């Protein structure tokens, strides 16, 4: 598509007014005007200079926002929870734009999570064909063996298929207590992947933290804190997704 134009429903969704699906309903229902004229055709292209009104409200183009957040454990990676548990967006209630998590971390996993209102960026970063390295530190209840490290580095077979080669580094091991602290870098984002990889080898993951995504780290943040990403960081991550290198 011509980069200077975008679909009407996308412009409305990007403004934060409503979701893309609801925007489509509003368009079909004749509630949307472009330059003063009602438009009911889905997929109508609009330019940045076109004036869009929804239910009589003028839609402003929203600035893009990217946040790097240190998710604590016991927080859901979502924008709402039907059981009333804390969700990641609870930490950003004072931000006026609607932001969404990029990918997910388990309830019991802490660490680096990006949130943004940029749907295109989210799709780019989370697309299975883009292999951004994500580094985790895991505490295992057992003594990880050298052959098992090798197996992880080659790839192991989980229920949903073979894992891609991982980078694995043992940081600390205690023979008496039978514990291992290990860093593992994976390039995929399958559900509970790191836990499942270690469970497959017979280890329980007692603690899991994501410490790095591409070049981004948790440096300077405490659990529950976030900061706005710099334009350079956003650009670097986009570049990494598209070209596989910084
Ligand atoms: N792998 C997991 O097992 N859990 C996460 O939260 C992220 C990766």
Residues in the chain predicted with pLDDT less than 70, given as ranges, are 1-4
Where are the alpha helices (H) located in the chain, listed in sequence order?
A: 8-14, 20-28, 119-126, 146-154, 193-200, 231-243
Which domain range does residue 32 map to?
Answer: 5-58
Q: For the domain that residue 198 is a member of, what is the CATH number?
A: 3.30.70.1560
Q: Characterize 85-113 residue by residue with b for buried, 16 or more Cβ atoms within 10 angstroms of its Cβ, and e for exposed.
A: eeebbebbeeeeebbbbbebbbeebbbbb
> Which pLDDT tens digit goes with each residue over 50-63?
899 999 999 887 78
Q: Closest ligand 1 atom, CA of 192?
A: 3
Q: Let me know: does 236 contact 215? Beta carbons within 8 Å.
A: yes
Q: Are residues 146 and 167 in the same domain?
A: yes
Pocket test for ligand 1, best of 78, 114, 208, 212 (most atoms within 8 A of CB): 208
Give the pair of three-digit tokens for residue 58. Answer: 């003028």
108 sits in the region (left: phi over 0; alpha: psi -120 to 50; else beta) called alpha
pLDDT at 2: 44
**Same domain (yes/no): 74, 118:** yes
Is the domain of 191 the same as that of 120? no
**Residue 80: its pLDDT value, please?**
95
Where does ligand 1 bind, in terms of residues with CB under 6 Å? 105-106, 109, 192-195, 208
How many whole angstroms from 189 Cα to the centroid of ligand 1?
8
Neighbours of 60 (CB within 10 A): 10
Residues 85 and 189 reside in one and the same domain: no
Tokens matching residue 182: 């290990």
**Total structural domains in the chain?**
3
Residue 30 shares a structural domain with residue 97: no
Q: Which atom of ligand 1 is nearest to the CA of 108?
A: 6
* CATH code for the domain of 236: 3.30.70.580
Same-domain status, 138 and 27: no
Catalytic residue among 106, 118, 159, 174, which?
106
Check which CATH number belongs to the domain holding 35 and give it: 3.10.290.10
Same structural domain for residues 207 and 219? no
pLDDT of residue 238: 93
pTM assigned to the model = 0.81
223 plus 187 within the same structural domain: no
85/146 same-domain check: no
Give the list of residues 6+ apart from residue 53 with CB closer than 8 angstroms, or none.
32, 33, 36, 59
User: In the block, which residue shows the tokens 């929804």?
Assistant: 54
> Do residues 72 and 88 both lie within one domain?
yes
- Check whether residue 205 and residue 147 sit in a common domain: yes
Check if 90 is active-site.
no
pLDDT of residue 92: 96
Indicate whether 233 and 118 sit together in one domain.
yes
pLDDT at residue number 65: 93
């Amino acid at each position: 598509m011509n980069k200077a134009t975008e679909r009407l429903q996308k412009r409305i969704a990007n403004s934060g007014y409503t979701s893309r699906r609801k925007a489509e309903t509003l368009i079909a229902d004749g509630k949307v005007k472009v330059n003063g004229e009602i438009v009911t055709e889905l997929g109508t292209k609009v330019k940045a200079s076109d004036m869009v009104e929804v239910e009589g409200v003028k839609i402003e183009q929203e600035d893009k926002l990217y946040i790097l957040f240190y998710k604590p454990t016991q927080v859901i990676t979502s924008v709402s929870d039907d059981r009333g548990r804390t969700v990641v967006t609870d930490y950003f209630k004072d931000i006026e734009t609607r932001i969404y998590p990029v990918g997910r971390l388990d309830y019991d996993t802490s660490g680096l999570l990006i949130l943004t209102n940029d749907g295109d960026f989210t799709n780019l970063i989370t697309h299975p064909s883009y292999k951004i390295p994500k580094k985790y530190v895991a505490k295992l209840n057992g003594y990880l063996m050298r052959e098992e490290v090798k197996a992880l580095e080659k790839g192991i077979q989980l229920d949903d298929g073979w894992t891609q080669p991982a980078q694995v580094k043992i940081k600390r091991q205690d023979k008496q207590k039978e514990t291992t602290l290990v860093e593992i870098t994976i390039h995929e984002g399958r559900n509970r992947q790191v836990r499942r990889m270690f469970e497959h080898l017979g280890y329980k993951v007692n603690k899991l933290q994501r410490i790095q995504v591409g070049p981004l780290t948790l440096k300077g943040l405490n659990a529950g804190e976030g900061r706005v990403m710099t334009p350079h960081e956003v650009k670097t991550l986009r570049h990494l997704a598209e070209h596989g290198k910084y």
